């Protein structure tokens, strides 16, 4: 298996850096190959714009999705984007390593997604979700937080972690066809003991050792949706984020079911 770790933290000695390093070592010891995109060290430019394109489809008006598709079809992407796309294309597993900032990923990582997961390469008309371009590849988030795990529980002030990560899990990874593995979270590593930090590292290594048998997160397949791309009447929402009024569900009932652990990893992805 070939793995790509996309790392987004400005401090090499950070705990994110430690997680990245143990992941590389563990994966290589298991016989896998590993590539790393260390975005801060690379000086990655996160701003998607006209500089990403050479020969434009329309020199007078910048339609980003049109220009991305045009550039991909003609091999006209910026050199740094092309290099990262090659890394993604070669990967069987992509691990995104980052601290949670403002309930999401750092801007530099979002900018990597904006530029690398371009139209034509990562998605296209009729090619999204279970028919996405990255079907057959797996992806996983490895993240750190600044606060305790209790804040990310279903009744926590920050909201359930799976709800917080839905825009990434579903809107980026699921959308482009990845099989999405459950995230690994190291809770407020800057505020726990050295032993607790070591326990996080050991637990992450153990997760990676069992990566081949890890059950992915559940996303409803196309057959569960109608022509308007809403869950069909009678289909009970199982994602933990969705709920289906036409199946006599409410947000409260869906949240309660999720709190009981009934909407996390499932057999279908």
In the chain, where are the structural domains located?
2-213, 218-269
CB 247 within 8 A of CB 225: no
Return the percentage of the chain with pLDDT > 90, whole number.
84
**pLDDT digits 0-9 by tens, 207-217:** 999 999 999 99
Q: Which residue has the tokens 């079907």?
A: 135
pLDDT of residue 266 exceeding 60, the answer is: no
Task: Give pLDDT, residue 258.
Answer: 57
d(CA 256, CA 249): 11
Average pLDDT, the chain: 92
Pick the CATH number of 2-213 from 3.40.50.360, 2.60.120.10, 3.40.50.10320, 3.20.20.70: 3.40.50.360
pLDDT-derived band at 245 (thresholds 50, 70, 90) equals confident
**pLDDT digits 0-9 by tens, 20-79:** 999 999 999 999 999 999 999 999 999 999 999 988 999 999 999 999 999 999 989 999
pLDDT of residue 261 exceeding 60, the answer is: no
Look up residue 101 and give its two tokens: 């900032």
Query: What one-character DSSP code corresponds to residue 40?
Result: H
Q: Which residue has the tokens 């809403």?
A: 230
Task: Give pLDDT, residue 257.
Answer: 58
**pLDDT digits 0-9 by tens, 198-209:** 999 999 999 999
Strands 2-7 and 184-186: unpaired
Residues near 6 by beta carbon (within 8 Å), at least 6 away in sequence = 37, 39, 94, 95, 96, 97, 109, 112
* Higher pLDDT, residue 255 or 142: 142
Query: What one-character DSSP code corresponds to residue 156?
Result: S
Question: CA torsion angle for 141, 240, 167, 140 (degrees, to 10)?
Answer: 10
CB 139 within 8 A of CB 181: yes
Q: What's the whole-number mean pLDDT along residues 170-199?
A: 96
CB 116 within 8 A of CB 88: yes
Look up residue 1 and give its two tokens: 């298996």
**pLDDT digits 0-9 by tens, 93-114:** 999 999 999 999 999 999 999 9
């Amino acid at each position: 298996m070939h793995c790509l770790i996309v790392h987004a933290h400005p401090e090499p000695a950070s705990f994110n850096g430690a997680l990245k390093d143990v992941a590389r070592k563990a994966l290589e010891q298991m016989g896998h190959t590993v590539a790393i995109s260390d975005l801060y060290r690379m000086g990655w430019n996160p701003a998607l714009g006209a500089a990403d394109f050479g020969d434009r489809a329309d020199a007078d008006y910048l339609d980003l999705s049109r220009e991305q598709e045009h550039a991909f079809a003609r091999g006209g992407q910026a050199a740094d984007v092309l290099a990262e796309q090659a890394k993604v294309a070669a990967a069987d597993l992509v691990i995104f390593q980052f601290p949670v900032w403002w309930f999401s990923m750092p801007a530099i990582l979002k900018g990597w997604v904006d530029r690398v997961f371009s139209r034509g390469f990562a998605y296209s008309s009729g090619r999204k979700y279970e028919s996405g371009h990255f079907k057959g590849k797996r992806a996983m988030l490895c993240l750190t937080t600044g606060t305790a795990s209790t804040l990310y529980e279903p009744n926590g002030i920050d909201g359930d972690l799976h709800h917080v990560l839905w825009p990434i899990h579903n809107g980026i990874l699921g959308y482009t066809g990845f099989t999405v593995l459950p995230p690994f979270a190291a809770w407020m590593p800057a505020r726990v003991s050295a032993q607790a930090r070591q326990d996080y590292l050991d637990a992450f290594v153990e997760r990676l050792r069992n990566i081949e048998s890890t059950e992915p997160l559940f996303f409803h397949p196309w057959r569960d949706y109608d022509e308007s791309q809403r869950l069909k009447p009678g289909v009970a929402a199982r994602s933990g984020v969705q709920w289906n009024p036409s199946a006599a569900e409410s947000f409260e009932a869906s949240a309660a079911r999720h709190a009981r652990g009934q909407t996390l990893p499932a057999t279908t992805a």
